[in-house]
Structure 1
Amino acid sequence: MSEDAEVRRLRWRCRRGMRELDQLMLRYLDGRWPAADEAERALFLRLLDCEDDKLWRWFMGRERPEDTDLAAIVAIILALPH
């Protein structure tokens, strides 16, 4: 799969149905994905597999992922400039 096709597919997966989550996921995809290494990309893909209600609680700071790797990618996304 070409890089462009992969990014288009990921852009679709970033659509979560909540504007705030959409913006956070797309901010990562547009701002960090191109330079991310394979390990970080794999974490982002794992994050996309999580349920929206969990993502919402994690990104709003109401909970922290038990998985330290997922907690790390959440922190990376939250630290991205707006």
Structure 2
Amino acid sequence: MDKYNKFRIEWDCRRGMLELDKVIMPFFQQHFDDLPEKEKDVFLRLLACSDLQLFSWFFNRGEAPDLELRQMVTHIQEKLNLIN
């Protein structure tokens, strides 16, 4: 099985919160293919987090527990112009 099975990743991008769907899916569709392999792996780890964690991190109410996840959240926010 392909490590980056696009159908599986797209399915995992679908979240239970509309706010997250409007962040994660567009990033996946527009930027995932351009990420280096290491960052793709971090994105996949991000998708394994709960909706509540992701909501907290993306909407600046909390911080991801490790540096790589924090950097990915910031990268996504910047790419989608969610922060200045």
Q: TM-score range by the shorter chain?
A: 0.7 to 0.9
Superposition pairs of residues 1-82 of structure 1, within 5 angstroms = 1=1, 6-81=5-80
Query: d(CA) in 2 for partners of 1:43 and 1:13?
Result: 14
> Any runs of at least 4 consecutive aligned residues in structure 1 with deviations exceeding 3 A, and if so which?
none
Query: d(CA) in 2 for partners of 1:81 and 1:18?
Result: 17
Q: How far apart are residue 36 of structure 1 and its match? A: 0.8
Where structure 1 has 5 or more consecutive residues not aligned to the other structure, the ranges are none
Query: d(CA) in 1 for partners of 2:26 and 2:57?
Result: 16
Where structure 2 has 5 or more consecutive residues not aligned to the other structure, the ranges are none
Return the TM-score normalized by structure 2. 0.86
Query: d(CA) in 1 for partners of 2:51 and 2:59?
Result: 12
Return the TM-score normalized by structure 1. 0.88
Compare relative contact order (CA 8 Å, sep 6+) and give the higher one, 1 or 2.
1
Query: d(CA) in 2 for partners of 1:10 and 1:32?
Result: 13
Cα offsets for 1:17-45 (capped at 9, x unmatched)? 11110121112211111111110000000
Q: What is the number of residues matched between the two proteins?
A: 81
